[in-house]
Structure 1
Amino acid sequence: MQTLEALTRDAQALANGEIVLSAPETEVARQMQICNACRYCEGFCAVFPAMTRRLEFGKADIHFLANLCHNCGACLHACQYAPPHEFAVNVPQAMAQVRGQTYADYAWPPALGQLYQRQGLTLSLALVAALTLFLVLGAVLQGGGLGALWGADLGGNFYHLFPHNLLVGLFAPVFLFVVLALGMGVRRFWKNIKPVTSGVDVSAPATAEAADAVLRLKYLDGGHGDGCHNEDDAYTLSRRRFHHFTFYGFLLCFAATSVATLYHYLFDQPAPYELPSLPKLLGVAGGMSLLVGTVGLWYLSLRRHPLHGDAAQKPMDRGFIALLFLTSASGLALWLGRGTPALALLLCLHLGAVMALFATLPYGKFAHGIFRTASLLRYAVEKRQPNPIGLSAD
């Protein structure tokens, strides 16, 4: 909720040159002024009720609204001012361009924010190949020559090739850095958007509402439950469903790794695990779900309407999808091929894919889930406050 004092302060800062809007931010502010006068889409998603609580749109407001947008496309297909109208209102595309900017603006360390512009399919695949080659060379050089890669007698246990402590030493620092980098980035984002939207603390009901919106992907329903748009004007729930497969597949795979860690350290039960053990059940279910979700999202990405989203970010999007797919596919292949001569090669491929995924998490498409969650929480807090005088209720 923006007070009169906040509006005056932001206006003065803009006049003094202390706050300079980028071209994408200026475009979002322009379109929001038009939408605020029209309000046809007010019931579509969280963006438009949040918009109606503002008379002007400062930098923090724009960042908040951009990350609140789920790019479902419903408002674009319903808008009477969409291209080719001279107003050229395209909220999904304008918001997507600002979202890409916010990822870089709030990156930690700041100097690495430019990596968002360099993420792409080619780089992702090249990173997997390079890390896989590194692991292959490591396996060859530690003894056994090429025989360590094909037909080696590992007894179905990949720790015979790469010891547990070695893998922990490789992955633990990367994982901790990912958590730190994303945590510091979203902390800065939250700090910037909180004073502008409201100074009220987070409550339990607001947290529960935001969590529900995240877990159900509520705002991928097009605002009416029939779904959003993809390549045409037809409603579809396919994007929501494939996002669910991907999201919950990733969570299940993470849960499998976490449970396996507990088995190893608390119960002295090291891998490998067999069905129906809990780590294996979670891992297989997560891998299959992730496989289905990423294939579906890739298909939809190829067919997406050209006016949806930011074309410049498609390489980053597809690179992330490819890494998730390779991680799940190689993990399932490793499980199915554990008793074959290809075990060592499959292990190197899987570990290379996982390492590439984790190395790019803080500076790739994964960030959108973190920033969007923060924006949904901010929205849930804000909507519980009195509406500014003179503006309509949600």
Structure 2
Amino acid sequence: MTAQLPEPYVPDAAQPAPELIPLLTLEEQEVDRQLRICNACRYCEGFCAVFPAMTRRLEFNKADIHYLANLCHNCGACLHACQYAQPHEFAVNVPQAMAKVRVQTYAEYAWPTLFGRLYRRNGTFVASALAVALSLFLLLTLWANGTLLPGRLAGNFYAVFPHNTLALMFGSVFAAAGIALAMAVRRFWRSVSPAEALAQPATAAVIEASSAALTLKYLDGGHGKGCNNADDRFTLWRRRFHHFTFYGFMLCFAATLVATGYHYLLGQQAPYPLLSAPVLLGTLGGLGLIIGPAGLLALNLRRAAEHGDVAQRPMDRAFLLLLLLVSATGLALLGLRDTAAMAILLAIHLGTVMALFITLPYGKFAHGLFRSAALLKFAIEKRRPNPLGLGED
């Protein structure tokens, strides 16, 4: 590709738009600079949703940059196709620039606002230490009340921790995490999409955005070959491992809901038979949460530095590690629930689950919700006239 940037649109590659400098962080200024270069070139327009959304704008304010940063799936395709990437003096690297802004949006829109600082500390060590500390606390509790003795309570979960106690503890923490995430996404939506914030999205837009999110449409590199990870070779494994992770999580959530129905509606208490719905759903979900996070962790360890923000890797790995710990301890508990090790395994499993719930609103999990909101905005705005007077998309 030897095409040159059209002269009327050539930006100063060293500086963002002067009128935006006081309003943007350094990372946001860099996204603004790179997007103005991309808007002049437009070679990557068909790669993903970012570039069609970009072409509806000539300037990029903070809200636009936050929107586009979360619309980016960090697949890396545009980096390897770009004629202005390093060693060119423009040094365009859209995936990396977007990733640095994206984590800022999680912190900026976090609820409560003060807790946004936790994104800087949600690393592998903190997540692991929290899981270990909570597990030890529960083990010490069992030891203090005499329910940790081998063989005494094999197979009887609720003799170890009463059901109502578990429901109150974990239900409260999960509900708090859900509220915090919902409020954060609401703040993000109102900031990046003020015109649509109070409007009812069209059904077609909701369906399109949901389909794109559930199928991870934009992790195909724009050509169906997949992402770039360690080099310029394409791979679909990042997309596949994301699917294992997401649907594994949803199956485990479904298992919890079904088990709740068994308990309160049918009067049946755990443990349930191996072929019951809660156990089958939980087992399939647990396997998904082994395969998916393990695969994503392996890809993350090998990923090229220029394909993202290396400063965020501790947060990414912390989330994957917690998912692995939850699924591994859950499957171990299922396999050994009728043995003397049940009480110990139950305490360790519950400790890791609690650590996951506590860190959900202020870790990598948030990216799925922010990205879904960005996909909805994209689906809505593409159905509206182009503000630059280029007609309907």
Asked whether the 8 Å contact 1:119–1:316 carries over to 2, the reply is yes
Q: In 2, distance between residues paired with 1:116 and 1:348? A: 27
Output the TM-score relative to the length of structure 1.
0.92
Runs of 4+ aligned residues of structure 1 deviating over 3 Å after TM superposition are 14-17, 196-201, 389-394
Asked whether the 8 Å contact 2:289–2:324 carries over to 1, the reply is yes
Q: What's the counterpart of residue 189 of structure 2?
A: 190
Superposed, 1:72-87 pairs within 5 Å as 72-87=75-90
Q: In 2, distance between residues paired with 1:224 and 1:208? A: 22
How many Å apart are 1:158 and its aligned residue? 1.2
Asked whether the 8 Å contact 1:290–1:328 carries over to 2, the reply is yes
Q: What's the counterpart of residue 107 of structure 1?
A: 110
SS in 2 for 1:42: coil
How many Å apart are 1:168 and its aligned residue? 1.4
Q: What's the counterpart of residue 294 of structure 2?
A: 295
> What is the percentage of aligned positions where both structures have the same residue?
63
Asked whether the 8 Å contact 2:139–2:344 carries over to 1, the reply is yes
Q: What's the counterpart of residue 309 of structure 1?
A: 308
Asked whether the 8 Å contact 2:209–2:376 carries over to 1, the reply is yes
Q: What's the counterpart of residue 21 of structure 1?
A: 24
Q: What's the counterpart of residue 237 of structure 1?
A: 236
Q: What's the counterpart of residue 252 of structure 1?
A: 251
Q: In 1, distance between residues paired with 2:392 and 2:304? A: 33
Structure 1 stretches lacking a partner, 5+ long: 1-13
CA separation of 1:100 and 1:388: change in aligned 2, threshold 3 A: same
Larger CA deviation: 97-106 vs 336-345: 336-345
> Which of 89, 101, 109 is residue 92 of structure 2 equivalent to?
89
Q: Which amino acid aligns with 1:35?
A: C
Output the TM-score relative to the length of structure 2.
0.93
The answer to whether structure 1 residue 66 and structure 2 residue 65 are counterparts is no
How many Å apart are 1:195 and its aligned residue? 2.5
Q: Deviations over 1:142-161 (max 9, x none)?
A: 2x2xxx33523214121111
Asked whether the 8 Å contact 2:154–2:340 carries over to 1, the reply is no
Q: In 2, distance between residues paired with 1:335 and 1:200? A: 47
> Using CA pairs below 8 Å that are at least 6 residues apart, which structure has the higher relative contact order?
1
How many Å apart are 1:345 and its aligned residue? 1.0
How many Å apart are 1:393 and its aligned residue? 6.0
Asked whether the 8 Å contact 1:295–1:325 carries over to 2, the reply is yes
Q: What's the counterpart of residue 172 of structure 1?
A: 171
Q: In 1, distance between residues paired with 2:390 and 2:62? A: 20
How many Å apart are 1:45 and its aligned residue? 0.3
Q: In 2, distance between residues paired with 1:150 and 1:89? A: 61
Q: In 2, distance between residues paired with 1:238 and 1:107? A: 31
Asked whether the 8 Å contact 1:24–1:98 carries over to 2, the reply is yes
Structure 2 stretches lacking a partner, 5+ long: 1-17
Q: What's the counterpart of residue 119 of structure 1?
A: 122
Q: Deviations over 1:148-181 (max 9, x none)?
A: 3352321412111111011112112111111110
How many Å apart are 1:317 and its aligned residue? 0.3
SS in 2 for 1:307: helix
> Which of 10, 23, 34 is residue 31 of structure 1 equivalent to?
34
Asked whether the 8 Å contact 2:151–2:339 carries over to 1, the reply is no
> Which of 107, 126, 134 is residue 131 of structure 1 equivalent to?
134
CA separation of 1:391 and 1:265: change in aligned 2, threshold 3 A: same
How many Å apart are 1:348 and its aligned residue? 0.9
RMSD between superposed Cα atoms in Å: 1.6
Asked whether the 8 Å contact 1:52–1:391 carries over to 2, the reply is no
How many Å apart are 1:344 and its aligned residue? 1.1
